[in-house]
């Protein structure tokens, strides 16, 4: 397809909330192509992966009845693509899948009922068949692509026969790294230039187990016990049932907390990110790291683990001071940052390149080459 040709793209998103919604709308608004989003509300994630495809196929068929066949179908990892295709009038439309996450390597909560009963394999199988059916698979980091391919090979080997291991190579050959696009420039409107006498530590992730708040707060408890001063800003998406560590921390850090809770307006969220100084990251699961990249864009000093996607995105060789190797190294480096306040070197320039003003061009080129 010509690079100057404007394409009609239908984007299918079964879980339209959070980073999934932001990504879909961000690409729609910044692309040179015409992108129509068909989505379901971002609740009941398991049911979305099981049953969402049938409803979305009906919605897609209604769309093509009124608008004709699109040039490209862009779907995400939570769609059961083979089921969708069974009910949707796809014909020979090229299909591109974007994987925000995958259920083969995503760490499940120990309290999940399916995990307790060892029933979680089906969701990984949906990811597998969706990838196999797609013409291209886009992963939001090299770490994500490699971890999925490696886990898929192990996953298929556990079945008794006809495990079709050659399909892993087929999927790998169709796989491309396409980093997450973010609307970062909108933070510029709320930029605050201030110097805090007492450093402000930031948490801006979802309040969930995979973000590992236990290690985050437990380390701060030890730091507080030796008399090192700091302030705390805790933002990010909350849920109906609060994890005990957040409830406990409200009381334990009552003298340090200057804000704790979800920001209802983007202005409030952006302002807190610009005000904060240090972003200690203890996350156990991350395939890209949108919340980390937003904070880094706002000049927060990140303290990152030498695992997951962070060495790839932030170059742990060039920026070794921003990385820790283990829990002891983490505690020592965080203490040093708080005491010495040597926060002069931020990584804002790294974050800038993931703004949609740059990423949409790369995405559009991928669409044009399909």
Q: Are strands 301-305 and 323-324 parallel, antiparallel or unpaired?
A: parallel
Total residues found in the chain within this entry: 370
Domain ranges of the chain: 8-181+355-368, 185-352
Answer whether 8-181+355-368 and 185-352 agree in fold. Answer: yes
* The pLDDT value given to residue 112: 56
* The pLDDT value given to residue 224: 97
* The pLDDT value given to residue 342: 75
* The pLDDT value given to residue 115: 54
Q: Where are the alpha helices (DSSP H) in the chain?
A: 18-30, 45-67, 81-87, 113-116, 121-133, 142-157, 166-174, 213-225, 244-252, 266-275, 290-297, 310-314, 327-340, 348-352, 356-368
Three-class SS state of 218: helix
* The pLDDT value given to residue 346: 85
Q: End-to-end distance of the chain based on CA atoms, in angstroms?
A: 7
* The pLDDT value given to residue 117: 52
Which superfamily is assigned to 185-352 in CATH?
Answer: Glycogen Phosphorylase B; (3.40.50.2000)
* HSE toward the beta carbon, residue 15, CA cutoff 13 A: 20
Query: What angle in degrees, to the nearest 10, is found between the helix axes of 327-340 and 213-225?
Result: 50
How high is the mean pLDDT in each 10-residue block of the chain (370 residues)? Answer: 78 96 98 98 95 98 97 98 96 96 77 56 94 98 98 94 97 98 97 90 94 97 97 90 92 97 96 97 95 97 97 96 96 95 84 98 96
CATH number of the domain at 8-181+355-368, please? 3.40.50.2000
């Amino acid at each position: 397809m010509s690079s100057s040709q404007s394409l009609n793209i239908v984007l299918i998103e079964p879980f339209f909330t959070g980073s999934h919604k932001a990504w879909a709308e961000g690409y729609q608004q910044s692309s040179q192509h015409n992108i129509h989003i068909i989505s379901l509300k971002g609740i009941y994630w398991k049911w979305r992966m099981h049953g969402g495809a049938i409803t979305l196929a009906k919605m897609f068929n209604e769309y093509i009845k009124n608008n004709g066949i699109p040039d490209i179908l862009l779907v995400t990892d939570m769609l059961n693509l083979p089921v969708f295709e069974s009910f949707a009038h796809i014909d020979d439309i090229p299909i591109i899948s974007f994987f925000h996450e995958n259920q083969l390597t995503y760490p499940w909560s120990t309290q999940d009922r399916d995990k307790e009963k060892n029933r979680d394999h089906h969701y990984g199988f949906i990811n597998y068949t969706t990838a196999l059916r797609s013409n291209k698979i886009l992963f939001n980091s090299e770490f994500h692509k490699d971890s999925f391919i490696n886990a898929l090979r192990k996953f298929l080997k556990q079945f008794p026969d006809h495990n079709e291991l050659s399909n892993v190579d087929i999927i790998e050959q169709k796989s491309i790294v396409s980093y997450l696009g973010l609307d970062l420039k909108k933070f510029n409107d709320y930029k605050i230039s201030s110097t805090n006498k007492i450093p402000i530590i930031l948490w801006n992730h979802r309040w969930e187990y995979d973000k590992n708040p236990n290690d985050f707060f437990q380390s701060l408890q030890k730091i507080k016990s030796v008399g090192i001063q700091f302030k705390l800003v805790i933002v990010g998406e909350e849920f109906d049932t609060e994890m005990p560590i957040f409830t406990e921390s409200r009381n334990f850090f009552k003298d340090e907390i200057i804000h704790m809770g979800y920001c209802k307006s983007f202005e409030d969220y952006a302002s807190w990110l610009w005000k904060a100084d240090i972003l200690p990251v203890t996350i156990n699961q991350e395939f890209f790291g949108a919340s980390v990249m937003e904070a880094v864009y706002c000049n927060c000093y990140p303290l990152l683990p030498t695992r997951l996607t962070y060495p790839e995105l932030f170059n742990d060789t060039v920026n070794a001071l921003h990385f820790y190797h283990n829990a002891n190294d983490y505690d020592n480096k965080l203490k040093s940052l708080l005491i010495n306040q040597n926060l002069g070197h931020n990584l804002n320039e790294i974050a800038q390149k993931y703004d949609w003003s740059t990423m949409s061009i790369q995405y559009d080129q991928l669409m044009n080459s399909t």
